[in-house]
Amino acid sequence: MAKKSTEPPLASTVQIGEPGPRVALGVTGCIAAYKAVEVLRGLQKLGASVQVVMTRHATEFVGPLTFQAISGAPVITDMFAATDDPEIKHIQLAGSINLLLVAPATANALAKFAAGIADDFLSTLYISTRAPVLVAPAMNGEMWLHAATRENVARLKARGVEFIDPSDGYLACRTVGPGRLAEPEDIVDRAWEIARSRAAVALTGHSGDLTGEHILISAGPTYEAIDPVRGLTNRSSGRMGYALAEAAAGRGARVTLISGPVALTPPSAVNTINVRSAAEMYSAVMDGLDAATMVIMAAAVADFRPATTADQKIKKDRDGGLTLELERTEDILAAVGRKKAGRTVVGFAAETENVLDNARKKLLEKNADLIVSNDVSRADAGFDVDTNRVALVSRTQVEELPVLSKRDVADRILDAAMKVKPRQASHLAGQPD
């Protein structure tokens, strides 16, 4: 398998003159510490400013001078090192970073984080910062699977710490199993996504502007079964809906994400409900509607499903072809529009022709406040790509956006949704239709 390049696409890097996100890279004591050098270089190539923090045991595997030479900044290794700076270093760093990334993270580091033990600079930084925390564990397979480690991981995840789980592979202890540090380029990709998102929020002043909103977001495709092994679905990856959930949570909203089957990790601090079919998505949306002040239907819901589902696998050696009778699925956006009350309702229109005309028609027919329309026949927009090019269609205007990352598009959609908000909807729960 070809090794994935760590070179970033041009649209993902920081532009000249734009401040890059600030990342604290924590390195703990295991043989995988040498891979943190690749993580550091990958983040720097993307435009991040990285401050390396090493535990005492990490310095036994890689010298601080290696990280200092690459990062261009002194490496922090000692909680009580003498300095001319009058500021308390861990507090100063805790308040200035957009992300704390710990890669690799040992079982000992996870245990200290989970228990709130702060006996060195890194553990004290963890307990002091309000920035997102991303952890990439690496350890012996038995240590990773031990009940104590599983409990610590569960506790940290419940607090909003994000994980890039280790993979299976050949370990330093000459065994094969789980515990191998995730690939550095995968760690860099996820860290960059989180840090850049947090930096953008701070730069634009979006932080906290959605506090008080409860946003219900649907994402991904649906799957309509033909038989136990086959079904009807579409190319939606769920990336746009997941980007919306991450952006909304980062701006202070309470978020419920209703997701079809996708290969994505849900954003932290988001209540995720996994569904499979259009009928399941309809039920989940209707169940969560009363508590929502805004609904964003980003999912690509199947319009049709098989009228009947075979109990057993349909054999291909049957005589002749196969004719499927299809029936309409529930129109979720229309159902939300009928129960709109004072909610802000945002729909999506994936089109291949007459894009704006179809979006205007959908806006009126579904009783929506905003339609996000895009031409999914384009290579840089729509399904299964990292960028999107959309038009924001409201009842008073059309705003056509250039090609942007889906995370940037998410913020623009949320901005537009707040502008078309019908009325203050913070006390909708229990109101009649």
Active site residues: 173
Residue 209 DSSP class: T
End-to-end CA distance of the chain: 55
Whether the Cβ atoms of residue 290 and residue 341 lie closer than 8 Å to each other: no
Instruction: Give the C-alpha separation, 206 to 185, whole Å.
Output: 29
* Residues forming beta bridges with residue 214, ordered by sequence position: 254
Sign of CA dihedral 109, 111, 113, 119: negative
Whose structure tokens read 């190319």? Answer: 235
Find the helix packing angle between 184-204 and 239-250, rounded to 10°: 50
Instruction: Give the C-alpha separation, 284 to 219, whole Å.
Output: 12
**Closest Cα to residue 108, out of 152, 51, 47?**
152
Instruction: Give the C-alpha separation, 210 to 248, whole Å.
Output: 7
**CA distances to 87, 152, 419 from 110, in Å:** 28, 6, 43
Say if residue 104 is preceded by a cis peptide, omega within 30 of 0: yes
Count other C-beta atoms under 10 Å from residue 374's C-beta: 22
Whether the Cβ atoms of residue 55 and residue 83 lie closer than 8 Å to each other: no
**CA distances to 47, 112, 260, 333 from 273, in Å:** 35, 31, 9, 18
**CA distances to 161, 274, 387 from 156, in Å:** 5, 22, 31
The token duo for 407 is 């995370």
